[in-house]
């Protein structure tokens, strides 16, 4: 530990009579916070202050002002020494270490954004390995995926993303974060009609693998809405109907409804038919079947959809 | 099967968080106000007379309220810090979330002294306004500690937008003319609208999230601007929210390969597609659906099953409290949210402002 003999600590006031949630601080916490608060107040931008903020962050990562103070120290020292890129690189390395030790800490992502924005020549390549590790550790972590999308936009580099989402989807076809990431990227790629057709084939393959998966059906709908003005052709209707035993096309008694493979396929069809004048009866049949057999927890909602058609 | 809310144990669980805490709580020290808020709000939702029990602590609570003068102008801003560890004179440690937590706590404790003598509403509103990004319209959770600009190491998101609007509402700035004095209402609305997702709901970069959805809808509702959402988007959001109720019936059984599906979650709500049900998302989804359902109409979901999920699956009958699922230990956040969700279902809790109904100061 550095020498702080010249610093008068600024202790946290505690053990008051009317205090709520009094925490039994450890000596280490008391001492570290006492010093850090004093340096922050004095506005000391030094190497020892930098090290001390790391210690505070390891003890109380939610100490929001300390992150702000640390950032100022880093930038101050960097400018003073005239080596901004090196200093920010070192700081990014430090954040990565903190991240790996404490993946649930959400302060790190906005901190990294601030650093990257100040970097004279930031690199997406540098960020990719840590992003990959973090996503592997928690494949649906909202903060990490948001940071990845921020990076993609910041660096204007979409080149790794389709293959990356494919990798994650192959690993877990139910990963909705990977599917929404794929849509985000695909939309930005301004695909031509051949690429769109290939993408529809891609999602159809995934639907055939697992028909009862909400993410894939949303993705399919998204492709039609974004690129084909919601014009659902005969082939896609036929494709969806292949998972519903055509229950939307014939009247059934509830007790005679067969098992089908996907309630999402049936909902997909119902939502299309609800807007077609000559198919409204098919939409109603589909909603009724969802209500009575295929997705009964949402019966109030399916009945509501029927009332909206009429 | 236990089929009711075990109030006695929950009260003990919540009160314990307001007493002496072991050093393992040190990491939450900077946001102590959140601990106080979730505990007091949980107790109030259980209809405990919190005013009587905690009025004596108000003086200590008020010490977290600070007024800061800008070094380069005459402007003063006011708000709360998260704890005494963040009270450092001449350093701005005010925090937007902790300011909301403190104001709601004061309101729940019917703290007349605070609302009539201590608070400078314009100072608080100025603090809120300073947290807004003038370009994007979103809010950050803190300011830079030296200057009255949003913290450079923080980013705006829907949570802080909601918190900003809720604070302004609670301190009496309710109509658009008054709000415009402190924040750019139109920019804020534009930011919220930009977080709409194609599948319904709100979230960053197109992935809808029930928590953000509740924040966005609550903020728009407090601003009186829910009509800025298209009917088509509202319908899609209702559909998205309704689909978050986890089921093990019909085709919903066919998810053997889904690592985040548990048939025992039946009736609970998930925060996103293909995730486990979780106590807090019952609250976020139901609050959102309430806002999109006309007054007096039933919600298009099964509230009884949501209640069963909370009472029979995530309630802890040994030490009290609620956990997020049936695996983890109970924690304060999920305890408060679980109790609030149940209180909202019986009509005694205002989910938009997050406070029991009928409290006036």
Q: Name the token pair of B147.
A: 């200057």
Q: Is the pTM of this model over 0.90?
A: yes
B169/A8 Cα distance (integer angstroms): 42
CA dist A224 to A169, B221, B344, Å? 20, 32, 38
Query: Which chain A residues are closer than 8 Å to B282 by Cβ?
Result: none
Q: How far is A250 from chain B (nearest CA, A)?
A: 19
Query: Best residue in A65, A177, A214 to probe B by mutation, most B CBs within 10 Å?
Result: A65
> Please, what are the domains in chain A?
1-82 (1.25.40), 99-151 (no CATH), 158-231 (no CATH), 233-310 (no CATH)
Query: What is d(CA A175, CA A188) in angstroms, rounded to the nearest whole number?
Result: 21
| Cα of A205 to nearest chain B Cα, Å | 17
- Whole-number Å distance between alpha carbons of A162 and A103: 25
Tell me if A301 and B249 make a contact (CB, 8 A cut-off): no
Record: contact B25-A41, CB cut-off 8 A: no
**CB-based contact (8 Å) between A231 and chain B?**
no
- The CATH class given to the B201-351 domain equals mainly alpha
Q: Which chain A residue is nearest to residue B302, measuring alpha carbons?
A: A297
Which helix (DSSP H) or strand (DSSP E) does residue B67 occupy? strand B65-69
Instruction: Give the whole-angstrom CA distance, residue A88 versus residue B36.
Output: 38
A135 Cα to chain B: minimum distance (Å) = 16
The C-alpha of A125 sits at a distance from chain B's nearest C-alpha, in angstroms, of 21
pLDDT, one tens digit for every residue, chain A (310 residues): 789 999 999 999 998 999 999 999 999 999 999 999 999 999 999 999 999 999 999 999 999 999 999 999 999 999 999 999 999 999 999 999 999 888 777 789 999 999 999 999 999 999 999 999 999 999 999 999 999 999 999 999 999 999 999 999 999 999 999 999 999 999 999 999 999 999 999 999 999 999 999 999 999 999 999 999 999 999 999 999 999 999 999 998 888 999 999 999 999 999 999 999 999 999 999 999 999 999 999 999 999 999 999 7
Under an 8 A CB cutoff, do B301 and A16 touch? Answer: no
ipTM surpasses cut 0.90 = yes
pLDDT of residue B1: 40
Q: How far apart are CA A33 and CA B212, in angstroms?
A: 33
Element (H, E) at A162: helix A161-171
pLDDT at B199: 97
Tokens of residue B258, six digits: 């889904």
User: For strand B349-350 and strand B76-80, is the pairing parallel, antiparallel, or unpaired?
Assistant: unpaired
Beta carbons of A18 and B57 less than 8 Å apart? yes
Instruction: Tell me which chain B residue has its CA closest to the CA of residue A214.
Output: B273
Per-residue pLDDT in tens (0 to 9) along chain B, 361 residues: 445 788 999 999 999 999 999 999 999 999 999 999 999 999 999 999 999 999 999 999 999 999 998 777 788 999 999 999 999 999 999 999 999 999 999 999 999 999 999 999 999 999 999 999 999 999 999 999 999 999 999 999 999 999 999 999 999 999 999 999 999 999 999 999 999 999 999 999 999 999 999 999 999 999 999 999 999 999 999 999 999 999 999 999 999 999 999 999 999 999 999 999 999 999 999 999 999 999 889 999 999 999 999 999 999 999 999 999 999 999 999 999 999 999 999 999 999 999 999 998 7
pLDDT of residue B2: 44
Between CA B219 and CA A201 the distance in angstroms is 40
Reported as half-sphere exposure (CB side, CA atoms, 13 A), residue B235 has a value of 8
Q: Which of A23, A58, A222 to mutate to test the interface with B (most CBs of B within 10 A)?
A: A23
Are domains B32-194 and B201-351 of this chain identical in fold? yes
Measured between CB atoms, does A56 come within 8 Å of chain B? Answer: no
Nearest residue, CB atoms, B209 vs list A142, A181, A261: A142
List pLDDT tens digits, range B288-336.
999 999 988 999 999 999 999 999 999 999 999 999 999 999 999 999 9
Return residues 57-76 of A near B (CB < 8 Å).
Answer: 59-65, 67-69, 71
- Domain extent listing, chain B: 32-194, 201-351
Alpha carbon distance A191, B291 (integer Å): 38
CB of A44 within 8 A of CB of B44? no
DSSP, res B249 = S
Rg for chain B, CA atoms, rounded: 20
Q: Are B171 and B179 in contact (CB under 8 A)?
A: no
pLDDT for B3: 54
Please name every residue paired with B78 in a beta bridge, in sequence order, or none if there are none. Answer: B67
Q: Quote the tokens at residue B3.
A: 């089929």
- CA nearest to A53, candidates A2, A6, A105, A113: A2
Contact at 8 Å (CB) between B341 and B46?
no
- Residues in Cβ contact with B241 at an 8 Å cutoff, skipping those fewer than 6 apart: B200, B201, B210, B213, B285, B288, B289, B292, B301
Of B25, B57, B273, the CB nearest to A214: B273
To which H or E segment does residue B79 belong? strand B76-80
| Inter-chain touch A65–B86, beta carbons under 8 Å | yes
Number of inter-chain CB pairs under 8 A, A vs B: 223
| Tokens, residue B157 | 């998101």
Residues 6+ apart with CB under 8 A from A221: A268, A271
Find residue B355's DSSP bridge partners.
B350
- The chain B residue lying nearest A173, using CA atoms, is B258
Instruction: Give me the CATH topology for the region B32-194.
Output: Glycosyltransferase (1.50.10)
Q: How far is CA A193 from the centre of its chain?
A: 28
Closest CA to B142 of B158, B126, B160, B159: B160
Cα–Cα distance for residue pair B114/B104, rounded to 1 Å: 11
Query: A152, A161 in Cβ contact below 8 A?
Result: yes
Alpha carbon of B331: minimum distance to chain A alpha carbons (Å): 15
Exposure of A236 by Cβ count < 10 A (0-12 exposed, 13-18 middle, 19+ buried)?
buried
Tell me phi and psi for residue B139, to 5 degrees.
Answer: -115, 145
């Amino acid at each position: 530990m550095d020498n702080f003999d010249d610093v008068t600590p600024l202790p946290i006031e505690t053990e008051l009579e009317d205090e709520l949630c009094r925490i039994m601080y450890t000596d280490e916490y008391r001492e570290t916070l006492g010093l850090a608060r004093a340096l922050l107040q004095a506005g000391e931008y030094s190497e020892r202050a930098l090290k001390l903020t790391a210690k505070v962050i390891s003890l109380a990562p939610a100490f929001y002002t300390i992150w702000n103070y640390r950032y100022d120290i880093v930038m101050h020292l960097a400018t003073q020494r005239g080596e901004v890129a090196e200093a920010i690189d070192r700081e990014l390395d430090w954040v990565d270490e903190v991240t790996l030790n404490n993946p649930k800490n959400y302060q790190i992502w906005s901190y990294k954004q601030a650093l990257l924005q100040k970097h004279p020549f930031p690199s997406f390549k540098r960020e990719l390995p840590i992003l990959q590790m973090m996503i592997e550790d928690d494949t649906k972590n909202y903060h990490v995926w948001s940071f990845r999308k921020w990076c993609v936009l910041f660096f204007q580099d979409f080149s790794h993303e389709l293959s990356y989402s494919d990798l994650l989807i192959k690993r877990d076809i139910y990963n909705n974060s990977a599917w929404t990431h794929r849509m985000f990227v695909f939309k930005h790629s301004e695909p031509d009609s051949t690429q769109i057709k290939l993408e529809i084939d891609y999602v159809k393959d995934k639907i055939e693998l697992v028909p009862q998966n909400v993410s894939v059906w949303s993705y399919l709908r998204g492709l039609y809405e974004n690129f084909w003005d919601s014009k659902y052709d005969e082939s896609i209707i036929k494709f969806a109907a292949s998972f519903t035993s055509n229950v939307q096309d014939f009247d059934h008694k509830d007790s005679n409804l067969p098992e089908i493979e996907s309630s999402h396929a049936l909902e997909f069809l119902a939502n299309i038919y609800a807007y077609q004048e000559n198919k409204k009866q098919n939409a109603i049949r589909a909603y009724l079947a969802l209500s009575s057999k295929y997705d009964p927890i949402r019966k109030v909602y399916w009945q509501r959809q029927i009332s909206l058609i009429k | 099967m236990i089929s009711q809310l075990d109030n006695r144990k929950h009260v003990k669980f919540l009160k314990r968080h307001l007493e002496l805490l072991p050093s393992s709580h040190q990491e939450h020290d900077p946001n102590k106000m959140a601990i106080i808020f979730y505990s007091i709000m949980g107790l109030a939702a259980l209809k405990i007379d919190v005013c009587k029990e905690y009025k004596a602590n108000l003086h200590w609570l008020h010490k977290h309220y600070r007024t800061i003068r800008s070094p380069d102008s005459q402007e003063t801003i006011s708000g709360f810090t998260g704890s005494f560890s963040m009270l450092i004179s001449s350093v701005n440690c005010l925090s937007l979330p902790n300011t909301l937590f403190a104001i709601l706590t004061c309101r729940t404790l019917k703290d007349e002294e605070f609302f009539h003598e201590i608070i400078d509403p314009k100072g608080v509103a100025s603090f809120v306004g300073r947290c807004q990004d003038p370009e994007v319209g979103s809010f950050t959770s803190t300011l830079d500690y030296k200057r009255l600009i949003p913290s450079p190491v923080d980013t705006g998101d829907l949570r802080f937008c909601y918190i900003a609007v809720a604070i302004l509402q609670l301190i009496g700035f309710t109509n658009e003319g008054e709000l415009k004095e402190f924040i750019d209402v139109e920019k804020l609305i534009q930011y919220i609208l930009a977080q709409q997702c194609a599948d319904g709901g709100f979230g960053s970069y197109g992935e809808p999230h029930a928590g953000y959805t509740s924040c966005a809808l609550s903020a728009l509702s407090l601003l009186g601007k829910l009509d800025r959402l298209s009917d088509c988007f509202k319908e899609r959001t209702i559909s998205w929210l309704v689909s978050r109720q986890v089921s093990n019936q019909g085709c919903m059984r066919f998810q053997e390969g889904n690592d985040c599906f548990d048939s025992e979650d039946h009736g609970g709500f998930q925060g996103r597609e293909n995730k486990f049900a979780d106590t807090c998302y019952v609250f976020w989804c139901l609050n959102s659906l309430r806002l999109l359902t006309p007054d007096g109409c039933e919600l298009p979901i099964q509230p009884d099953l949501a209640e069963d999920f909370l009472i029979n699956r995530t309630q802890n009958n040994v030490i009290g409290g609620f956990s997020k699922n049936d695996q983890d230990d109970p924690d304060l956040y999920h305890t408060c949210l679980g109790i609030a969700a149940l209180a909202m279902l019986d009509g005694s809790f205002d989910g938009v402002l997050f406070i029991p109904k009928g409290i006036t100061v």
